[in-house]
């Protein structure tokens, strides 16, 4: 029970087969599930969109534990995208594992911190033969701050790619502009064309599946209809990914309604492709994403 934690404004519930950690403080409300260590809701209490969820979750998402919940912010690790080995899940395996709820506490200034942990076991070693410990710190305040710490428990170095696969709610995806991706190099995963330099604001025209390499600056999702910009900052992250399936590709997703694509946009922060991270034996790597809203 949550009484074991020194925190106020936090309680546990169940949605079908999945535990939910519900957090509310003076600044925001949030919902987190240990299944995949996914943040499923973040609702600020101030600004033009006070009371509105920044995150998008599919109306047909699955809560049985058989697969990741479609939406929110799942953790992609230790690989991003399609595995180099046939038969392994896309975006790694930790987004479909149940993480341990390690601690919940109130920090200074009224911010709430939730810490989830996951360690290698026989099942993970059969898929990816490296020992690890992951720690995910989630801070809920005026900002949502997620810190993923990878501990290399091996006697050898490891290479990982990683991302917070954030699904955001938007008014109309075709009216959205994403600022801050330049300068970077853009890889179009739909065409597999040679990378091109990103030099300007990105205007969303679905379908889109683009990876922006060596991109380190502040990214803003500008939504004129909602009069807000969702701001994404990274620490120790050098990649961004923008994804929306559009009206045809979405038909291949059983856990997404066919008409859902205009209301969502993934803008993901991470280290992918040639921005992969090497972690020496016995060392750790920390990756941070910070989300907040500006009125526009």
**Token pair for residue 226?**
């909602």
Q: Among the options 35, 233, 268, 285, which is catalytic?
A: 268
Pair of tokens at residue 70: 């479609």
- What is the distance between the alpha carbons of residues 58 and 278, in angstroms, rounded to a whole number? 34
- The active-site residue out of 165, 174, 179, 294 is 165
Residue 283 dihedral angles phi and psi, to the nearest 5°: -100, 175
CA distances to 87, 188, 270 from 153, rounded to whole Å, are 26, 35, 22
State both tokens at 10.
Answer: 């936090």
* Rounded-to-integer distance, Cα 296 and Cα 286, Å: 32
Spatial separation of the C-alpha atoms in residues 80 and 55, rounded to whole Å: 20
Assess whether 156 carries a catalytic annotation.
no
Q: Let me know: does 41 contact 144? Beta carbons within 8 Å.
A: no
Note if 268 is an active site residue.
Answer: yes
Minimal CA–CA distance to 165: which of 264, 78, 92, 72? 72
Active site residues: 165, 268
């Amino acid at each position: 029970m949550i009484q074991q934690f020194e925190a106020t404004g936090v309680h546990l519930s169940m949605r079908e087969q999945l535990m939910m950690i519900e957090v509310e403080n003076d600044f925001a409300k949030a919902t987190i599930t240990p299944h995949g260590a996914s943040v499923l809701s973040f609702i600020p209490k101030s600004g033009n969109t006070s009371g509105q969820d920044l995150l998008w979750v599919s109306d047909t998402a699955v809560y049985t534990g058989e697969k990741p919940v479609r939406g929110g912010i799942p953790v992609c690790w230790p690989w991003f995208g399609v595995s180099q080995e046939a038969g392994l899940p896309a975006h790694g395996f930790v987004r479909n594992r149940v993480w341990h709820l390690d601690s919940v506490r109130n920090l200074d200034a009224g911010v709430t911190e939730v810490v989830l942990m996951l360690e290698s076991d026989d099942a993970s070693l059969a898929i990816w033969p490296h020992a690890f410990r992951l720690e995910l710190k989630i801070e809920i305040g005026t900002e949502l701050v997620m810190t993923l710490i990878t501990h290399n428990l091996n006697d050898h170095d490891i290479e990982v790619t990683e991302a917070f696969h954030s699904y955001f709610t938007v008014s109309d995806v075709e009216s959205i502009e994403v600022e801050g991706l330049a300068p970077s190099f853009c890889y179009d995963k739909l065409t597999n064309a040679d990378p091109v330099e990103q030099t300007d604001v990105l205007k969303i025209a679905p379908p889109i599946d683009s990876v922006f390499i060596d991109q380190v600056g502040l990214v803003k999702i500008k939504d004129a209809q909602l009069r807000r910009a969702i701001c994404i900052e990274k620490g120790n992250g050098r990649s961004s990914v923008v994804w929306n399936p559009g009206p045809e590709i979405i038909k291949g997703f059983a856990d997404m309604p066919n008409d859902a694509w205009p209301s969502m946009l993934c803008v993901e922060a991470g280290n992918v492709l040639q921005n992969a991270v090497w972690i020496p034996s016995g060392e750790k790597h920390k990756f941070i994403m910070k989300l907040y809203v500006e009125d526009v």
